[in-house]
Structure 1
Amino acid sequence: MSRILTITTLISLLTITVLTTPATSATDSFVFGGCSQLKYTPGSPYDSNVNLLLTSLVRSATFTTYSNFTIKSPTPQDTLYGLFQCRGDLSNGDCASCVARAESQLGTLCPDSSGGALQLEGCFVKYDNTTFLGVEDKTEVLHKCGPLIGYDSDQLNSRDVVLGYLGTSDGSYRPFRVGGSGDVSSVAQCVQDLSASECQDCLSEAIGRLKTVCGPAVWGDLYLAKCYVRFSTAGASSHGGNGNGNDNSGNDEVEKTLAILIGLIAAVALLVVFLSFLRKSCERDRVAVKMRDEATEACLEPNNTILNI
Structure 2
Amino acid sequence: MGISGAQHHHRHRHSSSPPRISRTPFPLITITLTLLLPAVAGDLCSLVYKGCANQTLSGMQPIAALSSALTARAATAKFYKTTASSAGGGQPLLGLFQCRGDLSSSDCSACVGCVLPMWTSLCGPAAATRIQLNGCYALYQVSGFPQVSGTQMLYKACGSAGGGGGFEVKRDTAFAQLQSGVAGGQGFYATSYASVYAMAQCEGDLSAGDCSECIAQAVQKSEVECGGASSGQVYLDKCYISYSYYANGVPHGGGGGGGGGGGQTEKTVAIVVGGAAGVGFLVICLLFARSVMKKKDDY
For residue 54 of structure 2, the aligned residue among 26, 34, 37 is 37
Q: Which residue number in structure 2 is paired with residue 120 of structure 1?
A: 133
Q: CA deviation at 1:148?
A: 3.0
What does residue 71 of structure 2 align with? 58
Shift of 1:72: 5.7
| TM value normalised by structure 2 | 0.67
Distance in 1, Cα, partners of 2:63 & 2:267: 25
Secondary structure at the counterpart of residue 231 of structure 1: strand
Match of 1:210 among 218, 222, 237: 222
Distance 2:220 2:265 in 1: 21
**Alignment counterpart, residue 157 of structure 2, candidates 144, 150, 156:** 144
Question: Over the residues paired in the alignment, what is the CA RMSD in angstroms?
Answer: 3.3
The structural deviation recorded for 1:240 is 8.2
Structure ID, larger Rg: 1
Matched, 1:96 2:121: no
Is the contact made by 2:41 and 2:134 (CA closer than 8 Å) also made in structure 1?
no
Letter of the 1:124 partner, please give it.
Y
3-state secondary structure, aligned to 2:228? coil
Where in structure 1 do 4 or more consecutive aligned residues deviate above 4 Å?
Answer: 72-77, 237-242, 251-258
Equivalent position of 2:211 in the other structure: 199
Task: List alignment gaps of at least 5 residues for structure 1.
Answer: 1-22, 259-309
Aligned ranges 1:97-246 → 2 under 5 Å:
97-130=110-143, 137-149=150-162, 152-153=165-166, 155-168=167-180, 172-234=184-246, 236-237=261-262, 243-244=268-269
Any idea what SS the aligned residue of 1:38 has? coil
2:79–2:98: 8 Å Cα contact kept in structure 1? Answer: yes
What is the TM-score of this pair, normalised by structure 1? Answer: 0.65
Q: How many residues align?
A: 226
Residues 25-72 of structure 1 show CA distances to partners (whole Å, capped at 9, x for unaligned) of 610110010112111223xxxx32211111111221111111000126
Gap runs ≥5 in structure 2:
1-39, 248-260, 271-284, 286-290
Distance 1:103 1:239, change over 3 A: farther
Distance (whole Å) between structure 2 residues aligned to residue 170 and residue 112 of structure 1: 36
Query: Quick check: 1:83–1:127 contact (8 Å CA) kept in 2?
Result: yes
- On the 8 A contact 1:31/1:240 being kept in 2, the answer is no
Distance in structure 1 (CA, Å) of the matches to 2:42 and 2:196? 23
Judged with a 3 Å threshold, the aligned counterparts in structure 2 of structure 1 residues 69 and 147 are, in CA distance, closer, same or farther, namely: same
For the residues of structure 1 that align with 2:172 and 2:58, how far apart are their CA atoms? Answer: 50
Structure ranking higher in helix proportion? 1
Deviation string, structure 1 residues 221-253 (Cα, Å, up to 9, x no partner): 11111111111011625878974289xxxx789
SS in 2 for 1:212: helix
SS at match of 2:66: helix
How many angstroms apart in 1 are the aligned matches of 2:55 and 2:125? 9
> Is contact 1:221-1:238 (8 Å) kept?
no
Shift of 1:129: 1.1
- Distance in 2 (CA, whole Å) between partners of 1:104 and 1:241 is 27
> How far apart are 1:102 and its partner, in Å?
0.6
Against the structure 1 CA distance between its residues 185 and 24, is the aligned structure 2 distance closer, same or farther, given a 3 Å change threshold? closer
Kept in 1, the 8 Å contact 2:130–2:137? The answer is yes
Work out the CA distance in 2 between the residues paired with 1:55 and 1:239: 37
Q: Is the CA contact (8 Å cut-off) linking 2:183 and 2:212 kept in structure 1?
A: no
Q: For each residue in 1:83-120, what CA deviation from the matched residue of structure 2 results, as whole angstroms up to 9, or x when unmatched?
A: 00000011111111111111122221111112110000
**Which shows bigger deviation, 235-244 or 161-170?**
235-244
Tell me which protein shows more strand as a share of its residues: 2
**1:166 positional shift:** 0.7
Q: Which residue number in structure 2 is paired with residue 71 of structure 1?
A: 84
Residues 1:93 and 1:185: Cα distance change in structure 2 (over 3 Å): same
CA distance in 2 between counterparts of 1:34 and 1:170 reads 26
CA distance 1:110–1:237, change in 2 (3 Å): same
* More relative contact order, 1 or 2 (CA 8 Å, 6+ apart): 2
Change (3 A) 1:53 1:170: closer
The amino acid of 1:66's aligned partner reads: F
Determine helix, strand or coil for the equivalent of 2:180: coil
Q: How does 1:266-305 map to 2 (within 5 A)?
A: none
Instruction: Report what 1:15 is aligned to.
Output: none
